[in-house]
Amino acid sequence: MAALTSASGILALLDEQQPELQVYALQNLNNLVNEFWAEISDSVAKIEILYEDSQFSQRELAALVASKVYYHLGELDESLTFALGAGQSFDLTEKSEYVETIISKCIDKYISLRTLQATGDNAEEIDPRLQNIVERMFQRCSDDHEYEQAIGVALESRRLDVVKTMIERGSPHKLLPYVLEVCMTLVQNLDFRNQVLRLLVTLYRELQEPDYISISQCLVHLNDSSSCTELLRDLIEKDDVSMAYQIAFDLEENATQDFLLRVSKELPQPETPPKEEGAEEDAEEPALSEKDEAFKKIRSILSGEETIRLNLEFLYRNNNTDLLILKNTKNALESRNSIYHSAVTFANAFMHAGTTSDEFLRQNLEWLSRATNWSKFSATAALGVIHKGQLAQSMNLLSPYLPQDGGNGSSVYSEGGSLYALGLINANTGTGVLDYLKNSLKEAQSDVIQHGACLGLGVAGMATDNEDIYNELKNTLFSDSAVAGEAAGLAMGLVMLGTAAPEAIEEMLQYAHETQHEKIIRGLAIGISLIMYGKEEKADALIDQLLDDKDPVLRYGGIYTIAMAYSGTGNNKAIRRLLHVAVSDVNDDVRRAAVTALGFILLRNPKQVPRIVQLLAESYNPHVRYGAALALGISCAGTGYLDALELLEPMTKDPVDFVRQGALISQAMILVQQTENTNSKVAGVRKLYEKIINDKHEDPMAKFGAALAQGIIDAGGRNVTISLVSRTGHANMPAIIGTAIFTQFWYWYPLTHMLSLAFTPTAIIGLNKNLETPKFEFVSNVRPSLFAYPPQLKPPSTAVVEKVATAVLSTTAKTKARAKKSEKEKADHMDIDKEPVSKEEEKKEETTNKDEKKPSKKKKEENFEVLENMARVVPAQLKYISFKEDSRYSPLKKNNVGGITMLLDKTPGEMEDLIQPSAPSGESSDANQAEEEAPPFEPFEYPFDD
């Protein structure tokens, strides 16, 4: 039978009066439409008439043919309308491009209508036929076991009932983590996200073995402290103490101070609270029941004391700072120039952050004494970064610098800096020092001391929502001192962080319009943005108001409000708005901030950032280029992401000095804890920093950036990473806030120290049920050199001496020449033979030595490494970690092991071998600390003599 070349014969049947012929025609056209759609389109009106005829028996078939014709014509809306009319004739199971396209069109339409209904913008009713197709699609997904696909559509169309049904039909253990991840990364509406999280909490509880860790994560996102308290109480009642402690550690890592304080207050109090201090406390210890003891430990964990103690111990034990890098930088930079002095101060603070090692400062007291004015403020504040976490000793450590009662202190700058340092030591866990700082602020006469006290209060009282502190800061603000007012505005935002308190915003905004001081307006603008942290759509009205303001500083605040409100959400509307401002605002500062803010929005999607800022990185405007550099550094921090580094590379050679500065800092943020084995760019970047610092013709701005970058890339004794998203996928609030304020160093260098809030120790710390660290081993299934510390620099002195001895002395050269001459006269040929032979022999010896060394290295370089408790494990290494099967201890969390992990003891009756703490924890340790730190002085004295 010959193939059809035209559909005209079949189309002619549509004009017949007999319905049977018309039906026959439609059935044939349905099969031929993909081939002859152009010809059929001329008669589509006849097919539509048949569909509209209520007496016609095959209306659905007519609709299907019409739908296919319009699909081929590219009229997708018309095609969808007729597909809906086709009812059951539209076969969802058919594997064709037409069906797939119409289903996706249906789903898009359905999602947009459901979203409009939910937001109340348009109460248009959803066509029951459309609803029917979507329901059939859900059923098809269920039948094909494509549960994740159905859940994705259900979340977008806000169908919680479908989400629940699909999870129950599928495998809850596999689907619940998927829904949690999708919910936190893709669901952009805050209210609906909270509804999904409530559903997840219910479903996690209904599992045969409830997943308490995931439940606690959901409750933190929901800001539901009472349910968290209830969860902890239930676990203690069930005698599942280790799980309760693990949840408490996770809460401490992810929740705000205010949230943790609420949980602590709601926990049951011991029945016999201690009435006196001292001896009675000892007598009371045995009286505490096991449950009360457990609640006491949970309170200690929630206060942050345990985490800080363990991190301090880890950083102190594993400190691997290379002091020679700092020393070379200090020698290369002229210390009389305050910008260079500050650069070395910040580099030292970052390199030793949390390690308690002030060795560099002790070795360079004369250099330190050259600091004046605000350099002295920053240098004193650096002690807060170095000793971060020494809560119990913070007052003793800083007592020589703190303001003295009634007496005149050494310098207002060191007094102000010490108050700031006190805040940094107690960052985000400041209950012990808030009263002292508040009183210092009240009594301070100098605006410099007020400045330090405000910054200290802000950092230590972060997110406490403390009314008294807020009022005290407000009084300082109203004194209208530019220096004190700037810090007060910033601190007000820090204290009220994430509360969206309308009165606070109104007062701050009103004062920003009244004052004449640009510094105060800037402090308030950033403070306002912090109050809206994490509020997403609720911040939109304020964002509109700030971005419409004629004052560029307040517009700048509006940009940071977008960054803080939508940080880590990847919200498309926020990204569009920032990109629009980045190319349209008349003020360079606002444009720079808009590009920088992209880094905060896309924290969870760092791989998108290079693509988005690629064109901006080549902008004619240097401020936009600088913003692009920082956006890359912030979003890709700690990832070693090559696409970002390749974009930054040309920016390190930019003609404008501050663009080079931004690129150098961002490179360090991305390459923190990367090694030459994991990232090929590391060696080149380190050499570049050295070259820029030693180049006498380089601009001070770029040198400052290079010195700062050296501190960041080796931060925390090379044991910390910059992590703006926690291991569990939460936004790391202190880190995001610290980084946002760090970016303000453009205007005010002391704020550079705030980056230390983003430093996250990279350790595996295992604890037993008594919160002690037992000795145990685990395996890193990768060769040790891959994630090892970078090699320490070698002092050049010995090599230099050899070169000088051989090259410079002319007398020895003459005597050698004479000796050679006389030897030639005696036995010329033998000498000629001997000399090259000896060189060859030397070469042979060298090569044989190398050959001997090589196989020994290969033998040592195993494919795995056995690590002990409290070992440094970088984030990229976590996936290679496994616990020995025959080990006494196994982790409570089966996946996502990292940070502080509770251990299950398989033989609880046996004696435990514990790791004894070595970090300084009391006054008695000062002498020990001096003894421990004394030996390293010798190697570093030698180069001074050269």
pLDDT of residue 889: 81
Q: By C-alpha distance, which of 433, 430, 333 is closest to 734?
A: 430
Given a cut of 60, whether residue 806 has pLDDT beyond it is: no
Give the model's pLDDT for residue 87.
78
- DSSP codes, 280-313: HHHHHGGGS-HHHHHHHHHHHHHTTHHHHHHHHH
CB of 874 closer than 8 Å to CB of 892: no
Give CA–CA dist 863/874, Å, rounded.
Answer: 17
Nearest to 213 by CA among 875, 903, 895: 895
Least confident of 320-329, 672-681, 767-776, 905-914: 905-914
Mean pLDDT over the full length of the chain: 79
* Alpha helices, DSSP H, located in 318-399: 323-332, 338-351, 359-363, 365-368, 373-386, 394-398
Checking if the pLDDT of 838 tops 70, the result is no
The predicted pLDDT at position 825 comes to: 59
> Which has the minimum average pLDDT: 33-47, 112-126, 695-709?
112-126
Please give the structure tokens belonging to residue 400: 């020589």
Least trusted range by pLDDT, from 244-258, 548-562, 818-832: 818-832
Q: Which two tokens stand for residue 280?
A: 């009675």
Q: Give the pLDDT band (50/70/90) at residue 282.
A: very low
Q: Which of 687, 878, 919 is nearest to 787 (CA)?
A: 878
User: Between these two residues, 188 and 314, which has the higher pLDDT value?
Assistant: 314
Specify the pLDDT at position 811: 67
Note the pLDDT tens digit of each residue in 543-559: 888 888 888 899 999 99
Per-residue tokens: 885:
């099967």
Euclidean distance between CA atoms 275 and 88, whole angstroms: 78
- pLDDT at res. 859: 56
Poorest-confidence range of 610-619, 683-692, 728-737?
728-737
Give yes or no for a contact between 274 and 284, defined as CB atoms under 8 angstroms apart.
yes
Residue 824: pLDDT over 70: no
**Percent of the chain residues topping a pLDDT of 90:** 4
* Cβ partners under 8 Å of residue 639, min gap 6: 606, 670
- Direct distance between the N- and C-terminal alpha carbons of the chain, in angstroms, rounded to an integer: 101
Q: How many CA atoms lie within 13 A of 801 on its CB side?
A: 7
DSSP per residue, 482-536 = HHHHHHHHHHHHHHTTT---HHHHHHHHHHHHH---HHHHHHHHHHHHHHTTT-G
Q: What pLDDT, on the 0 to 100 scale, is given for residue 123? A: 58
Q: 335: how many CB neighbours lie within 10 A of its CB?
A: 18
Distances (CA, A) of 190 to 54, 202, 222, 307, 569: 46, 19, 10, 30, 10
Both tokens assigned to 97:
């491009």
pLDDT tens, position by position, 746-766:
888 888 898 888 888 888 888
CA distance 226 to 213: 16
Query: What is the average per-residue pLDDT within 6-26?
Result: 78
The β-bridge relationship of strands 889-891 and 899-905 is antiparallel
pLDDT-derived band at 934 (thresholds 50, 70, 90) equals very low
For residue range 132-153, what is the model confidence (pLDDT) as tens digits?
A: 878 888 888 888 888 888 888 8
Residue 710, classified by CB atoms within 10 Å of its CB into exposed (0-12), middle (13-18) or buried (19+), is buried
Q: How confident is the model at residue 799 (pLDDT cuts 50, 70, 90)?
A: very low
- State the sign of the Cα–Cα–Cα–Cα dihedral 476, 480, 486, 490: positive
Note the pLDDT tens digit of each residue in 79-100: 888 887 777 777 777 778 888 8
Taking the C-alpha atoms of residue 609 and residue 176, their distance in angstroms, rounded to an integer, is 29
pLDDT of residue 840 exceeding 70 = no
β-pair partners for 765 = 900
> For tokens 């980045």, what's the residue?
582
Identity of residue 547: L
- For residues 228 and 831, the model is more confident at 228
> pLDDT at residue 810 above 70?
no
Most confident of 153-157, 187-191, 326-330, 342-346: 342-346
Asked if residue 185 lies in contact with residue 570, where contact means CB atoms within 8 angstroms, the answer is yes
Phi-psi region of 498 (alpha: psi -120 to 50; beta: other; left: phi over 0): left
CA distance 751 to 741: 7
Q: What is the dihedral of CA 938, 944, 945, 946, to 10 degrees?
A: 130
The whole-number pLDDT of residue 593 equals 92
pLDDT score at 253: 80
* Cβ-proximal residues to 837 (8 Å cutoff; 6+ apart), any chain: none
Catalogue the E-assigned strands of 42-136.
none
**What is the C-alpha to C-alpha distance for residues 760 and 236, in angstroms, rounded to an integer?**
29
For residue 2, the model assigns a pLDDT of 52
Q: Quick check: helix, strand or coil at residue 871?
A: strand
Q: Is the pTM of this model over 0.95?
A: no
Residue with tokens 């009634």: 406
CA 814 to chain CA centroid, Å, is 65
Give the pLDDT score at 835: 44
Residue the block writes with tokens 């152009």 = 38
d(CA 414, CA 403): 9
pLDDT in tens, 621-636: 899 999 999 999 998 8
Is 226 or 123 the better-scoring residue by pLDDT? 226
Quote the CA–CA distance of 731 and 535 in Å, as a whole number: 13
Amino acid at the residue 379: A
Max mean pLDDT range (54-58, 661-665, 826-830, 936-940)? 661-665
Count of CB atoms situated within 10 Å of the CB of 107: 18
Query: Residue 541 pLDDT more than 80?
Result: yes
| pLDDT higher than threshold 60 for residue 941 | no
Give the Cα-Cα-Cα angle 723, 725, 727 (nearest 5 degrees). 90
For 867, list phi and psi in degrees, rounded to 5.
-110, 155
Q: How far is Cα 189 from Cα 537, in angstroms, rounded to an integer?
A: 8
**Using an 8 Å Cβ cutoff, are 356 and 319 in contact?**
no
